[in-house]
Amino acid sequence: MTKIALYDLDKTITKRPTFMPFLLHAAWRHERWRLLFLPGLLFLFGGYLLRALDRATLKERMHDMLLGSPIDADKMAEIAESFAAATLDDNVHPQARAQIAAEKAQGNRLVLATASYAFYVEPLARRLGFDDVIGTLVKRDEEDRILAEIDGENCYGPAKLARVEAWATENGLAKDDIAVRFYSDSPTDRPVFEWSDQPVATNPTSKLRKIARKNGWRIIAWG
């Protein structure tokens, strides 16, 4: 039986979300003049609140506004490394780092499953000791430059479960042959909670706390 410790990222491992901080971090180091577009984010958020934009489109528009498209992949890899270092410094729960390290020492396979872009999460995941990353993918042009367009689906809600199941299949891991403990703060991850063997509501929202209590799931708080 292969034991898998599956983690969400934002507000589960981290104290705060990572997407907007990453965009600001990257814009400052890439083309800082784009920070002049920050007021335009208000219009994007307004469109999202009015349901004129879905989460995936909002993410693409924010990316395009603050980073541009296409972006040199090597340069963005360097920026992602510096963002990982900054995130580890002040935006990771110490209890999360300790739990991840303990599960690593026990021989569990560590998998990060997040709606965040995989290209900026991977350096952080590596530094934390994860073996695999399942994140939102972006399209690339013929020169392998990063485009402000999601490749496939935003790794969120039911799409996250589909990606986790696809990852298991690609790695030759049948559901009956694995034991999955899943940590997340969000009720949007309910499909993955219900699929996992040991759901752990971690730093849960009030909605997730109610769901966890109703279903008898373990509840923990870090920070």
pLDDT digits 0-9 by tens, 86-107? 999 999 999 999 999 999 999 9
What residues form DSSP beta bridges with 164? none
* pLDDT score, position 1: 85
* Residue matched to tokens 């909670």: 193
Q: Which amino acid is at 222?
A: W
Query: Residue 30 above 90 pLDDT?
Result: yes
pLDDT digits 0-9 by tens, 200-215? 999 999 999 999 999 9
pLDDT digits 0-9 by tens, 107-131? 999 999 999 999 999 999 999 999 9
Q: Which CATH number describes the domain made up of 2-220?
A: 3.40.50.1000
As a whole-number percent, the residues of the chain with pLDDT over 90 amount to 99
Q: Which tokens go with 27?
A: 């814009």
pLDDT digits 0-9 by tens, 138-172? 999 999 999 999 999 999 999 999 999 999 999 99
Interval 42-51 mean pLDDT = 92
CB-CB contact of 27 with 202 (8 Å): no
Can you list the alpha helix ranges (DSSP code H) found in the chain? 19-30, 41-49, 55-67, 73-90, 94-105, 118-128, 158-170, 190-195, 206-215
Q: Which amino acid is at 73?
A: A
Q: What is the pTM of this model?
A: 0.95
**What is 162-186 written as a DSSP string?**
HHHHHHHHHTT--GGGEEEEEEES-
Sorted by where each begins, the domain ranges of the chain are 2-220
pLDDT digits 0-9 by tens, 58-89? 999 999 999 999 999 999 999 999 999 999 99
- Distance separating alpha carbons of residues 25 and 72, to the nearest angstrom: 16
- Distance separating alpha carbons of residues 171 and 54, to the nearest angstrom: 31
Interval 173-183 mean pLDDT = 95
Quick one: DSSP state of residue 75?
H
